[in-house]
């Protein structure tokens, strides 16, 4: 189990991300929030409650969860990769209202080309569900899956894949090819792309920008 400190940090990031996407992104374009904008204090506490419920895997019928909500948690995973100098890519696997797997890119730290966020999340979910078939699950990942991860998603029968931003160099969820929906395979997933696209892309572009500036 994750420690409370860690959980609080994730909740803080979740609320921060939610508020910055909803409010600050408008400010960047010079748009002043309208008086009808939700009260930030109220929004903040609602989001905090929502994040707490999501992370504690508690179902609350009064709260509805959107793909954006879950993607924010995948972004929180990506930020863990970023914090240790890894390319920031994160993934979570959700069944119902429960997070059953999570992962972030660990390729450099583990010197393992297969240590992609999705692979780690798939392994964790299989362990948690005690099944290699990840039925009724949705995988959220910040970057479009590569051929390996798309293959693993097909193998694990994940029925729904949601990704943030396209990968023009390796994307196999529709960009270079679409292994997730290949009619000749025995399994196809529903695919949703572009959820919090700008935020997911910005994570990567700012990471590589910083890397270039260092060298």
Task: List active site positions.
Answer: 118
Q: With respect to Zn ion, which residue has the nearer C-beta, 94 or 139?
A: 139
By CB under 5 A, name the binding residues for Zn ion: 116, 146, 148-149
116 is in an annotated binding site: yes
187 is in an annotated binding site: no
Per-residue exposure over 87-101, b if at least 16 CB sit within 10 Å of its own CB, e if not = bbbbbbbbbebebbb
Tell me the C-alpha distance between 179 and 184, whole Å: 10
Report in angstroms how near the CB of residue 115 gets to Zn ion at its nearest: 9
Tell me the C-alpha distance between 91 and 76, whole Å: 9
Angle between helices 67-83 and 197-214 (to 10 degrees): 10
Alpha-carbon distances, residue 187 vs 74, 81, 93, 107, 160 (angstroms):
24, 30, 18, 28, 11
Report in angstroms how near the CB of residue 116 gets to Zn ion at its nearest: 3
Q: With respect to Zn ion, which residue has the nearer C-beta, 55 or 173?
A: 173
Report in angstroms how near the CB of residue 200 gets to Zn ion at its nearest: 14
Count the Cβ atoms, other than its own, within 10 Å of residue 29.
Answer: 6
Q: With respect to Zn ion, which residue has the nearer C-beta, 11 or 121?
A: 121
172 is in an annotated binding site: no
Count the Cβ atoms, other than its own, within 10 Å of residue 162.
Answer: 24
Tokens of 79: 């930020």
Report in angstroms how near the CB of residue 187 gets to Zn ion at its nearest: 18
Q: With respect to Zn ion, which residue has the nearer C-beta, 102 or 116?
A: 116
- Residue ranges at the known binding site: 116, 146, 149
- Residue ranges at the known binding site for Zn(2+): 116, 146, 149
């Amino acid at each position: 189990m994750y420690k409370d400190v860690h959980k609080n940090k994730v909740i803080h990031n979740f609320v921060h991300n939610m508020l910055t996407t909803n409010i600050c992104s408008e400010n960047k374009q010079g748009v002043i929030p309208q008086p009808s904008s939700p009260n930030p204090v109220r929004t903040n506490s609602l989001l905090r409650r929502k994040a707490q419920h999501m992370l504690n895997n508690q179902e609350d019928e009064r709260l509805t969860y959107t793909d954006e909500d879950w993607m924010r948690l995948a972004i929180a995973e990506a930020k863990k990769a970023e914090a240790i100098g890894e390319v920031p890519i994160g993934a979570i696997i959700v069944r119902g209202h429960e997070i059953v797997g999570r992962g972030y890119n660990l390729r450099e730290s583990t010197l393992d080309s297969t240590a992609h966020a999705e692979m780690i999340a798939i392994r964790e979910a299989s362990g948690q569900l005690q099944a290699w078939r990840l039925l009724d699950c949705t995988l959220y990942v910040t970057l479009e899956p590569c051929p390996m991860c798309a293959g693993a998603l097909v193998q694990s029968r994940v029925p729904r894949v949601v990704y943030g931003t396209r990968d023009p160099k390796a994307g196999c969820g529709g960009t270079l090819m679409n292994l997730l929906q290949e009619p000749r395979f025995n399994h196809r997933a529903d695919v949703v792309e572009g959820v919090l696209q700008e935020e997911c892309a910005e994570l990567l572009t700012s990471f590589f920008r910083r890397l270039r500036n260092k060298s």
